[in-house]
Structure 1
């Protein structure tokens, strides 16, 4: 039986022939177009058409390396700078770029099409290290960011000066990463890329600056102002006013508003000198004693005070006026004395309550510091139930407050410090309050005993750590008199006695401890003689109508006063020549 031959449809035969034909044409086209890269293919103007993959990579590496190292010109607001692409993590990937070109050229349609056309330009592939890019942009922001600046008006030597406002620009690093990549990819050498930034507009505009200059600043500096106080007159020049005058912006509207530093203005010699001749301190009536009774020795005096607020209120309105209208009156404040001839008896200042004197060896620093403390204490009036403070009344013992360096106790030994010797005044005040019978609130004895003071009945003070305070519980006011000589200080309390008599009873020394011998090389060392330490109790005994009313114990602990020998630190550190 003859085999049966199946017939093939004509359409299938035609399709097969076409496939074979196209395949052959594709192979022929590959031979005609040459290498891996389609002819006419360029990357940023570099022709890599017809090259093998390896050849194209080498060629691109040479050309893109130079382009990739070129600094990128950028700006933030109106400030310009440059970015090094390599430091910003931006590089061209030649291999990936060639792979992209090869993939485009190797599909059948591109190959067959390449017979009839040439390849086109392909963008290079960019690699971006975002971490490096953010770091580079962060550094760039430090130099190119521009903080917003408000418009301003200032005064210099009586002249008006203007500061133009400026918009602030802050680099937006997150958004700028993409912008920087695009700039690197485009590679235009003569183009400055504007990086994205956040803008902040000034609150004080140029228009507001012009208004402030026109309406206030120029009139303020146009001429001196004249002030009158109690018939006295003095002028203040524009230069002096300008040094203490500012125009500050309102936080919500940006409007410039004038502010005068009256406290600073009154320190200017042009103002301070005339005010010094006008202002006076209220002075209490001078009290004396006729036997034990208080008498008025000197009349009181009303004080005149010019406050900073009054000075500012007088000057500021005059600055926008002209001619004779630039003259104004400063309101003076009258300060009444606390003690007058008329009210001394009403205050209960009728007799001597107590008086105590401490004697000391003369020394220039001691006399000076004691005299200064006495000056500050004398005339103090302590009303009923008020608490008087040594530190508050005398102030810190500094050079600015009128004190000099002297000898005082620190860390259980004598040393040099400002205000040394003032404890003699503290001890005198303590004994005056002791015998006046008023209530001590805070006091402390010296760490070791000093022979010129009564045992257990003395006091010291230290700024910031130890004060001498008492509360006036006598029922009437107390007037403190203080006076000093080169060798003594006396404090007297005037008022009304609450008790007929107050005595002091001292007990024996207990817990006696012997001192040690020490050598000091401290540059502020003061030689010190030895004295034993001990405890002692002193009782304050109150009497009324000849009978004892009560007793109050005052217990004091004294550490030994070690013997201190001072040596030159350089001498003590010198090597012993008799030893190797």
Structure 2
């Protein structure tokens, strides 16, 4: 029996081994297929690769964690952008790339598990000895990429310079041409990105330059400038307080500004500069002004009634209103309104608060009870209380006017053509000499004066003045920083002129020189003024005295 079995086995042993192998293989395959079926939906199938890693048997939680790390790794990858100004690095997620993690998870969990049982079995048998690679779901959004690139400041290589406007030597508005800028060619860059495979290609990108045009063209700007030159060609007419004046085109044009804003081209005025131009047209006080009134007792000054400064041009919204009208194409005339004086210094001039002390006084004597004394005192009465603001000029002839009997003047001796002659108002030159010396020691400037042609011992030698109508006149200016109050007083035998202000100058006569001019004597008198800042100024006054009444410098009689 054993020999028969041995013989039987020896004859069929190859077939036996083959059958045994098939049985074992079938069993293993059945077990693998059963394992594949039971794992469906819970873990990744066998022989599945993703991002270079085997994913066999991983649970959904493990897959989700792996995919999240992988997505961040890919999207954080740095892309090098080569620009004309150098290299820029940017992450893929910031220029339109995205990674669909949910799709990646779905793909992994469904790998080898899709279709019906027959399809799955067929696929399983066909790929039983190979690895299945699941593709990574990377997407690219060209619109998002274009938006992101346009927002990158480093991709603007040079900003455009918008056209501008200037005023030329002929006071016409002139175009300043604009200049285009340079930026990256975003269309080309987006096209390159669309062709890029972030997983296999080198992460580099070329940024070719393209022209970045100005927002406003030179043609558009020139057309607007032509309009502005036209509307301002005749200037504008302005009126205030019944006065009409013309503002020149240049004064308007130099305050015009052209700018390009996001909304487009805008033309405006430099309102501060334009307001100053308008006020310059009507420079100075406008309308009535009221000087303060005073009472003087000894050297004490009391303000009886504060003054009122004049109005000035113009209301603070003047430039805005006129500017808008001009830009609307209107040329006027425009009626302006005044505004109250707002300069604290000028307000102080008119409230009298700066008249705090006597800064000079001068007295000259005369005989009592002569007609000339009536004239001297009448002149003093007219001038008493005169109030000089800083920069104001006083002409004695203009202020007092002709000396007439109607004004209370009488006939008395006066010098005419080198001869003593009686006339109405004679003798008032003594008042002129007295106020001349008060102004001299107050530190005021003299614009016009003339010494007597004959010297009178009651006056300072070489430091005196005469006056007649209409000439010579005595004219002086308040060049100090403070207002000056002129106050006169008299006795039967003297006339006094005092000046009150805030003292800011020390005055001294420092030298007198005499020389001969034929038979006449030429006298020079030097005055030194020392200001509060230490500045010293010396000026010189002149007098020419004839040798006698009616005799000229050559010793000849002067015809009457």
Short-chain TM bin: 0.3 to 0.5
Q: TM-score, normalised by structure 1?
A: 0.36
Q: TM-score, normalised by structure 2?
A: 0.37
* Bigger-Rg structure (1/2): 2
